[in-house]
Structure 1
């Protein structure tokens, strides 16, 4: 099906935006004025630095969260800045540099933050339908000769693939762990070519016939349908993962306890108020794709991601080529050790 002029215009605008945001962090966007505007001396105000994992582009994600964060700033009396990024790695780097106090993260990124970067989980997303999980997907065009997963896997080296970066659970780890690795395959060598971009850009690439198949997830598919309804109608899902736990909110361990308690209370209560306040809060939540609210959670919710990564690494090692049996055993021992370390870190917090 030929693309009309309006579609091409939107595609060019979207890609121009993605090139801008992919250059790095958009740091320190102050939501509502300077420190002195809060009524406290600048040197006594604790600025809350909120990290946002992008759904769509970094600028879109920032706009989706803006209303909630403005209310957070007003309620707590602290300036709120955002750390909005064009990549998972960019947000991880900011957390590792202690530039983030509270953040919305997907599972694998949250494991890294908890195990290595002095953060802890305090809340989990609840979808608007009440579910506390998402589904990874592999997506093709409606008119693709790939009719199902078996058809995809039947011809190695033929298809072009678009996926997310390695820190993405639904965009990389889940398809790799559930589809490719159990069959002794690696997506980087199975496909004729592999491009790495965000979920929205990858879906656009499928529609535009630049790739044959892309990884995605249900929140990004829903967002794509709202943004490009006619183009979304040209897509077909050929594989869905089991339910994967939803994204989480994490806090920096070094935050002062009173501020940590205030942040926790605000987030967990948000959207639950009665009357006009509740209507307003739920309208702000609805701006964030598929978000219905938050529930209290701990680091234990991340165990499925640790186990998924463990299974993937074992499968890759067992199907790999090694210079000796001893080299394989050394790699398996390291995988076991890392799994025990990560599990202890989650259970011990």
Structure 2
């Protein structure tokens, strides 16, 4: 099955060489820059990803360097400027990378227990009188709110739809003050009582923070949980040389899966230390992004309806119909 998937992916690849690469599609670049979204501090991410990137470098035969930015947009811009070749994104930021930075989804992360998704959260202090979404939606302007990075799936897009759009509210009309940070920053702000409510996700709270700062994690409770979000995509530049794509794809598909048991055991341990604990990667494609695209389109329709904008409503309906047709093609068989 893997050989079939690999062959199909290879046949589907269209090669467009950029200025950083020789015109010969068979050549590998001398360096692969790997973008890592800022879910927590760069120092923690760099330490956790180093064994994985070292293994990737050994497999590809070229240096693999981490690329960090202060926010998700920085990694997206890096890919658009050809300073990032491969990157870990959330689904919403991957949409931006695909649409605006020449990216293409090629793999999906899963958890080390085999789960293929995670959940967006609203969190508050352990002893807060807030216990439900209804408590938050009273919108009496007495509370403070920590929103997520605008390109974050679980920190912004998902609560933006399920918490705010579907209830006809916005954070600005509900809270006395609204700030924005990454998952780690929002969690620590809640734990320290600097904000009353914040967005987050199950990966950040129950895996990373519980391990890196258990005292802070113990001061937090969740008061709302979203439907399941597809696990994060891995994205490469669509114009990478064919040979580079083949080698990168093979590395991801075999990692923690092929080889003798000692190799598999060591690589599984490396994966388990990434993000909330990853397992072997799955093949994927841009179709993975359809769910979040539909949510974004529906939010646009709600906004258009509130503004009584007939043209915008018509455009949103057309986009929703197109996305639904694409989703029917993919069905439940995977990406």
TM-score higher than 0.5: yes
Q: Does the 8 Å contact 2:28/2:241 carry over to 1?
A: no
Which of residues 258, 265, 268 is equivalent to 1:279? 265
What 5-or-longer segments of structure 1 have no aligned partner? 1-42
1:159, distance to aligned residue in structure 2 (A) = 1.2
Q: Does the 8 Å contact 1:162/1:214 carry over to 2?
A: yes
TM-score of the aligned structures, taking structure 2 as reference length:
0.84
1:119, distance to aligned residue in structure 2 (A) = 1.6
Distance in 2, matches of 1:156 and 1:182, equals 18
1:205, distance to aligned residue in structure 2 (A) = 0.8
Distance in 2, matches of 1:119 and 1:71, equals 23
Which of residues 313, 316, 331 is equivalent to 1:332? 313
Distance in 2, matches of 1:292 and 1:54, equals 21
Match of residue 172 from structure 2? 188
Distance in 2, matches of 1:141 and 1:209, equals 7
Query: What secondary structure is seen at the aligned counterpart in 1 of 2:215?
Result: helix
Q: Does 1:235 align with 2:216?
A: no
Which of residues 163, 166, 172 is equivalent to 2:150? 166
Match runs of 1:87-102 below 5 Å? 87-102=71-86
Which of residues 224, 236, 251 is equivalent to 2:209? 224
Q: Does the 8 Å contact 2:104/2:236 carry over to 1?
A: yes
Match of residue 291 from structure 2? 304
Which of residues 64, 74, 96 is equivalent to 1:112? 96
Match of residue 260 from structure 1? 245
1:66, distance to aligned residue in structure 2 (A) = 0.9
Match runs of 1:7-46 below 5 Å? 46=30
How much is the aligned-residue C-alpha RMSD, in angstroms?
A: 2.3
Distance in 2, matches of 1:129 and 1:172, equals 26
Which of residues 38, 52, 60 is equivalent to 2:44? 60
Distance in 1, matches of 2:82 and 2:319, equals 24
Distance in 1, matches of 2:182 and 2:257, equals 32
1:338, distance to aligned residue in structure 2 (A) = 5.8
Match runs of 1:135-154 below 5 Å? 135-154=119-138
Distance in 2, matches of 1:44 and 1:128, equals 31
When residues 288 and 329 of structure 1 are mapped into structure 2, their CA distance, relative to the original with a 3 A threshold, is same
Distance in 2, matches of 1:223 and 1:205, equals 16
Query: What secondary structure is seen at the aligned counterpart in 1 of 2:142?
Result: coil
Q: Does 1:178 align with 2:165?
A: no
Relative contact order higher in (CA < 8 Å, ≥ 6 apart): 2
Q: Does the 8 Å contact 1:306/1:343 carry over to 2?
A: no
1:55, distance to aligned residue in structure 2 (A) = 2.8
Q: Does 1:199 align with 2:186?
A: no
1:318, distance to aligned residue in structure 2 (A) = 2.4
Match of residue 78 from structure 1? 62
Distance in 2, matches of 1:309 and 1:237, equals 24
Q: Deviations over 1:14-56 (max 9, x none)?
A: xxxxxxxxxxxxxxxxxxxxxxxxxxxxx98531111111231
Q: Does the 8 Å contact 1:114/1:345 carry over to 2?
A: no
Which of residues 276, 280, 295 is equivalent to 2:282? 295
Distance in 1, matches of 2:319 and 2:97, equals 15
Distance in 2, matches of 1:250 and 1:258, equals 16
